[in-house]
Amino acid sequence: MSKHYNVIIIGSGPAGYVCAIRAAQLGQSVAIVECWADDQNKPVFGGTCLNVGCIPSKALLDSSHKFIEAKDQFAAHGIAITPPKIKVADMLARKSDIVSQLTSGVAGLLKHNGVDVIQGRGKLQAQRKVEVAMLDGATLQLEAEHIVLASGSEPMSIPPAPVDNTLIVDSTGALEFTEVPDRLGVIGAGVIGLELGSVWGRLGAQVIMLEALDSFLPSMDQQIAKEAQKIFKKQTLDIRLGARVTGTDIKEGKVEVTYVQGEKTLTEVFDKLIVSVGRQPRTKDLFASDSGITTDERGFVYVNDHCATEAPGVWAIGDIVRGPMLAHKGSEEGVMVAERISGKPMQLNYECIPSIIYTDPEVAAVGKTEQELKAEGVDYKVGTFPFAAIGRALASGNTDGMVKIVADKSTDRILGAHCVGPSAADLMQQMVIAMEFGSTAEDIQLMVFGHPTLSEAVHEAALAVDGHAIHMANRKKR
């Protein structure tokens, strides 16, 4: 006999658990199905983000940042310190404690909101039924008015570098190194590769990044990307573009990597190799062939603007649908679906979803890039402002980078904002709010910004859009 709910959600990552909580708040009877279990067979909530993605990587980034401050930057502040030493085991323990706090917090929130937790692997069947393969081998049948698929994503692999989770690791394995490798190779210079390379590079590893593409961060605004690349080079991240890995070989406990760059075939030997070439939707065995769900050639589930699939009453959110694989994007899709299930016509503005790279300095953006606007034939104007001219940045010793704002030339409406520099993620959130309310560059120009703050760079960049920046010489506008 099947158990019936209003809403069943498969997956408890940021998309799934947020959807479950919001649906329960709106009066729905909700069950969430999760197959991830710890070594005591207790369910693990939070998906990739909380367990092996966003949160643990940011914990390590923060620890490694503090180490490099103590090692290289305290002296400039008049702080004398003996050469610091990193205790990798303690750093990993701190990371694990943070993960545990957050995942147990999600468990408490689900319980508080009356969400039933069903432990096992869920598979969508026809007619909005879910078959759950329990950990003990039994099978449970569930059904609901609405099914939400939120199974998340997993690291992609490439044949030339098979992951063994010993010497060749994916992004998960890179969070668990028990010591700092002398030489670290990273395949892929995207968001995850840059963050993980930064962690171990700060702690003393010689980091070489092999990126198959000829351009650096091609989806970012290219002025910002080039500025970021210059900064990372100063930090001794060796980023080699147009470097396509063709093979790996394990020799005497090390990894020999062969790659092609231009017309040359080259080799490098590493103590560890991180494969960071992107992520793919986790949709294998998620639904039966007669469930009414269809996917594209990469495995992404087809949905409309409101995350409804082609099967009536079935929704899909997060990393398994179109758009960037970002935890905050998935969470808001979860809220939108819960609201729409409950009769509230919420919509999500996909034009105002920020993207962030948590390097030092951070790289963040929202909206259109300059190259996108050129391709679309939009007439636009640009304002940039460097942190080197911001008093607060100079006082803190964080002067690398800039803020860039792009606005429509005729309407003055802000179309995009981009930043590489200190607190870029938080500064760009200001621009998310501005763009959500349809702000113009003039709106930002007329606002009062506190002094001294990093956010003054946003104000000055908005002023620079019209050639009115105060604290730098303005370039003549075209």
The residues carrying an active-site annotation are 451
Which distant-in-sequence residues (6+ apart) come within 8 Å of 473 by Cβ? none
User: How far apart are the C-alpha atoms of 153 and 9, rounded to whole Å?
Assistant: 16
Dihedral of the alpha carbons of 227, 232, 237, 239, in degrees to the nearest 10: -10
Strand partners, 209: 186, 239
Tell me if 254 sits within 8 A of 271, measured CB to CB: yes
The helix (H) or strand (E) run that includes residue 169 is: strand 168-169
Tell me if 459 sits within 8 A of 431, measured CB to CB: no
User: How far apart are the C-alpha atoms of 34 and 264, rounded to whole Å?
Assistant: 48
DSSP annotation of 71 = I
User: How far apart are the C-alpha atoms of 30 and 280, rounded to whole Å?
Assistant: 27
Name which of 128, 110, 126 is nearest 118 in CA terms.
110
For 426-466, the three-class secondary structure string (H helix, E strand, C coil) is: HHHHHHHHHHHCCCEHHHHHCCCCCCCCCCHHHHHHHHHHC
Q: Which amino acid is located at 244 in the chain?
A: R
User: How far apart are the C-alpha atoms of 20 and 144, rounded to whole Å?
Assistant: 13
Name which of 387, 374, 352 is nearest 457 in CA terms.
387
Q: What is the CA radius of gyration of the chain?
A: 24
CB-neighbour burial class of residue 405 (10 A; exposed 0-12, middle 13-18, buried 19+): buried
Query: How many Cα neighbours within 13 Å face the side chain of 458?
Result: 32
Lateral strand order in the sheet of 355-357: 355-357, 362-367, 414-421, 402-408, 380-386
Is 356 in a helix, a strand, or coil? strand
Phi, psi for 135 (deg, rounded to 5)? -65, -25
DSSP annotation of 228 = H
User: How far apart are the C-alpha atoms of 439 and 405, rounded to whole Å?
Assistant: 12
Place of tokens 């390097």: 359
